[in-house]
Amino acid sequence: MEEKPEFRFEKLDVWQKSIEWVDEIYSAAKLFPPDERFGLTSQLKRSSISVASNIAEGSGRSSDKDFARFIEIAYGSLMEAVCQCMIAKRQKFISGEDYK
């Protein structure tokens, strides 16, 4: 039996995909070197969480303009995370396949 969404953002495909992506980031980050725990690992986790969190926060705003602003912030966090994934790939912390 599937749970019914409790909050507006849970119904958004983009939020659902962002949460799945956070799960993937956390799985990949487990493979990073221990000395990156407070560096790239932490930054990547935070930026990926920020994507989902800003979508959720924006969905709770009272105007479409406010919602759009939080989507912009989420997009910025996404670009930050993509850059961090590129760095992880270049440092061989993740494979080219995992990067995709």
73: domain CATH number? Answer: 1.20.1440.60
Residue 2, Cβ density class (10 Å: 0-12 exposed, 13-18 middle, ≥19 buried)? exposed
What's the domain count of the chain? 1
**pLDDT range class, residue 99, cuts 50, 70, 90:** confident
Is 22 among the domain residues?
Answer: no
Which residues contact residue 54 at a Cβ distance below 8 angstroms, ignoring those fewer than 6 apart?
A: 70, 71, 73, 74, 77
Is 16 among the domain residues?
Answer: no
Is 65 among the domain residues?
Answer: yes
Tokens 């992880």 belong to residue:
88
pLDDT reported for residue 1: 57
pLDDT reported for residue 79: 98
* Cα separation, 66 vs 74, whole angstroms: 13
Is 46 among the domain residues?
Answer: yes
Is 17 among the domain residues?
Answer: no
Please answer whether residues 15 and 59 qualify as being in contact, where contact means their C-beta atoms are separated by less than 8 angstroms.
yes
- Condensed to tens digits (0 to 9), the pLDDT of residues 60-93 reads 999 999 999 999 999 999 999 999 999 999 999 9
Is 54 among the domain residues?
Answer: yes
* Cα separation, 70 vs 79, whole angstroms: 14
Helix (H, G, I), strand (E, B) or coil at 84: helix
Structural domain range at position 100? 35-100
Q: Does the pLDDT value for residue 37 go beyond 70?
A: yes
Q: Does the pLDDT value for residue 2 go beyond 70?
A: no
Average pLDDT over residues 15-19: 98
Is 12 among the domain residues?
Answer: no
